[in-house]
Amino acid sequence: MNTVDVFPWNENFETGILLIDEQHKRLVHLLNQLAGHLAYQSDIPTLNNIFNELVEYTHYHFETEEGIWERFFCDDDWEIEHKSTHFNFVSEVSRLKSEAESLKPFDSVIEDLLSFLTHWLAFHILETDKRMAKAVLAMQSGLPLPEAKQQAEQQMSGGMKVLIKAILNMYDSLSGRTIQLMCEIKERQKVEGKLRLAANVFDNTLDAICFTDTDFKVIDANPSFCQEAGYPNADVLGKNLRQLKPGLTDENLAEGFWETLKQRGHWGGIINNRYKTGEMTADWLTLSAVKNHNGLVSNYVAIFSNVSNLVQRQQTLERIAHHDALTGLPNRLLLRDRL
């Protein structure tokens, strides 16, 4: 399974505290992994497992981070506010998760969660964690807490604040578009798979199949059709279907054939054709109209299934039923049928 980078990591997210940065990278990896499973439409249990792993690691990270901040900001407003932010995050994730179990489809909830997590994590790292990390680094260099906080505030203002806002806007847009794009790619791959299967059936079926324009000129034909017609594919293209299948010009057929096709959009029945070799054959023809987005006929699909053996067998059975087995003369059943 490939990850989908709804949250590309770069040096802008580094706080300067190695342990916190490594855990942030792990969170981002799990977030991107969840996005990948959503984009590639993994099953619900798989999505649930990845989501639970992300939530569990988030709790672990919060405990680690709060332990670091407590050493430097014990009972300070920044520490209290930071813990409150963590608590609110857990509450919001729990609320969204509960919707999956009662109201909304789970994959839809995961998409909402991804959007929330991406924005929250980017903002939390860039705004809160970086500010506190800068203060920690200042205190490690010898500054007391009040001066370290003041220096951190100055470093996070001005151009840095503009940069943070720009990055947050970019990531909000990127996460939604990336998921949408990956879902579209996955759907396209499914369609391409179906098209390959249809093309394989078209090329390898024993039935003769062709596509025509509205004037019944052949625009594509499968190998079986070309073999029955006795022409290579290049010579079949552009020819009128009536020319390749003379049975379509039969007067008895023509009486209701074209009218039925026009009214219903399809016709099915037996027609008799002669191969280029002179051999006669009976085909069951299914002819269907294909309409465009405006509801107008744009093409026709013709499928010819050879039923010569079935017709011959039916004729044999009819002869057995209507003629004496010893003399071959018509019997009473045939006489009654004729009367």
At 107-116, the pLDDT tens digits run 566 677 777 8
CB 268 within 8 A of CB 284: yes
- Over 80: is that where the pLDDT of 266 sits? yes
Q: Same domain, yes or no, for 91 and 58?
A: yes
Number of domains in the chain: 2
Q: Same domain, yes or no, for 182 and 141?
A: yes
The mean of the pLDDT values for the chain is: 81
Please report the pLDDT score of residue 140 as a whole number: 93
- Over 70: is that where the pLDDT of 295 sits? yes
Please report the pLDDT score of residue 176 as a whole number: 64
**168: in domain:** yes
CB 128 within 8 A of CB 82: yes
Q: What is the DSSP letter of 323?
A: B
Q: Same domain, yes or no, for 60 and 40?
A: yes
Residues comprising the chain, all counted:
339
Mean pLDDT, rounded, for 317-321: 53
**113: in domain:** yes
- Over 60: is that where the pLDDT of 324 sits? no
**5: in domain:** no
The Cα 167–Cα 12 span in angstroms is 9
Q: Same domain, yes or no, for 84 and 190?
A: yes
- Over 70: is that where the pLDDT of 35 sits? yes
Q: Same domain, yes or no, for 155 and 21?
A: yes
CATH number for position 136: 1.20.120.50
Q: Same domain, yes or no, for 179 and 34?
A: yes
CATH number for position 255: 3.30.450.20
Please report the pLDDT score of residue 146 as a whole number: 93
Please report the pLDDT score of residue 237 as a whole number: 94
The Cα 78–Cα 69 span in angstroms is 9
What are the backbone angles phi and psi of residue 286, rounded to the nearest 5°?
-115, 115
List the one residue out of 77, 83, 91, 49 whose CA is nearest residue 63.
83
**328: in domain:** no
Residue 175 pLDDT class (50, 70, 90 cuts): low
- Over 60: is that where the pLDDT of 308 sits? yes
Q: Which domain holds residue 37?
A: 11-197
Q: Same domain, yes or no, for 113 and 224?
A: no
